[in-house]
Amino acid sequence: MVCCSCFGSRRKRDVAKNPKLKDINSDHKPRPDRPSSYSANTVRSSPHSEIQQDPSKQTQSFTYRELATATNNFRIESMIGRGGFGSVYKGKLEYPPGQLKNVAVKMLDPTGRQGDKEFLVEVLMLSLLRHEHLVTLFGYCAEGDQRLLVYEYMPFGSVEDHLHGFGSVEEVLDLSTRMQIALGSAKGLAYLHNVAQPPVIYRDLKTANILLDHGYKARLSDFGLAKFGPSGDMSHVSTRVMGTHGYCAPEYASTGKLTMKSDIYSFGVVMLELITGRKPIGDSCMGSKRMLVNWALPLFREQEIRKIADPMLSIQGHRYMEEAVGRALELAYMCLREDANARPTVKEVVEALDSIVKFIARKKKKESIGYGRGVELEKRVAVSSPKETTRMLSVNEIEVEEGDLARERAVADAKIWAETMRSLRRQSNEPPKQNTTP
């Protein structure tokens, strides 16, 4: 268990303003809105989880001087981003000792929306919850008034950077990569919902919080707003509404009742963002359709896949890409149902996305092989004798016949997808309603 060091003068001022912080800081543990039967030290992993127990990877306490040196004294040239918590800087730090690594250092903005509570929750959550699709927290600094978090550096930035052109990211994500990112994010969410005990509700799922490691591997970040899920016969956690406008589930925004299905709604918005390349909230002149969910819904009902898909995906002329986008849209709108109980579980989302990713990979491979064979055959026919040409054409016909096996796999995949969708549809026969949130 990681314990934060003394909070110094800042803690004294905060306790004076809010006596409840005295209890929080006395044992250095945040107290999110959760059933009283749970304590902070009950967070654990099942025996089959992917939590890393390597002592060299335990969260460490760093001094402010160490982090200032690592980031070149927090110069503007070292800044790589800014969010609700504060500014983020790139630096180099020995972690573990003797191994120089790139790190991302996040500094709390004392005038920002977040404070000690979010800092403590982040340290607690990421010190105990370790998974390949969650960012790795190396350590923290709680020296005097300073609140800093030290993470493993993610070289490819955030999904938001890629989709909306923030920062210096220029490479366009293709459909296969976008669906793999969605799958990785869903696996991280599944870990929080199904493996962590007690389960964790992320509460701030958005493209800005999905970071990309080498190979565009998705990692969920920013756990300052995370909450422990309900226990026993409780169906929800009542809490102050927090999160990002455009991603919040409507029932949570209106009642403050937080459930696992609130995260599923946010995931549906992320899916739409990946498919369309649009921001979750557009210009005010668009009226109700400024909300991405409302803009895409009528087009989805009319099956106008090409109009919904991001033009940068160039799906026109590729039937398999249109089919894959259609499947992804169907899954997205199941996640966006008004009735929270009708939304799929994260396990079902992972299964559906895994099917989409495999479908795209198989079709891309077949298209690549077909093109390569055609070009090679054309070159060889041009320089061959009539007999040799006849022989090569016969071989090509045999290869085409062998493609029957690939078609059988495609049919089997389609059956699995259809069964998955039928299972999800049985939860609700109602189509998703338009979100009337302005």
Binding site, annotated residues: 106
What is the spatial distance between Cα 380 and Cα 366, in angstroms, rounded to a whole number? 21
Taking the C-alpha atoms of 259, 260, 262 and 264 in order, what is their torsion angle to the nearest 10 degrees?
Answer: -170
356, containing H or E segment: helix 346-382
What is the spatial distance between Cα 266 and Cα 356, in angstroms, rounded to a whole number? 20
> Residues 14, 116, 161, 204: which is the catalytic one?
204
Q: Nearest-CA neighbor of 310 among 282, 281, 280, 276?
A: 276
Is 23 labeled as catalytic in the residue annotation? Answer: no
10 Å CB burial of residue 76 (0-12, 13-18, 19+) is exposed
271, containing H or E segment: helix 260-276
Binding residues for ATP: 106
Q: Are 63 and 140 in contact (CB under 8 A)?
A: no
Q: Nearest-CA neighbor of 196 among 288, 127, 247?
A: 127
The amino acid sitting at 99 is Q
- Cα–Cα distances (Å) from 391 to 293, 369, 384, 388, 401, in that order, read 56, 20, 10, 5, 16
> Which residues face 197 on adjacent strands?
44
Between strands 60-61 and 137-141, the pairing is parallel
Q: From the CB of residue 425, how many other CB atoms can be counted at a distance below 10 Å?
A: 13
Q: Are 62 and 149 in contact (CB under 8 A)?
A: no
Tokens of 285: 């002149």
Cα three-residue angle 229-344-292, rounded to 5 degrees: 95
Which are the catalytic amino acids? 204
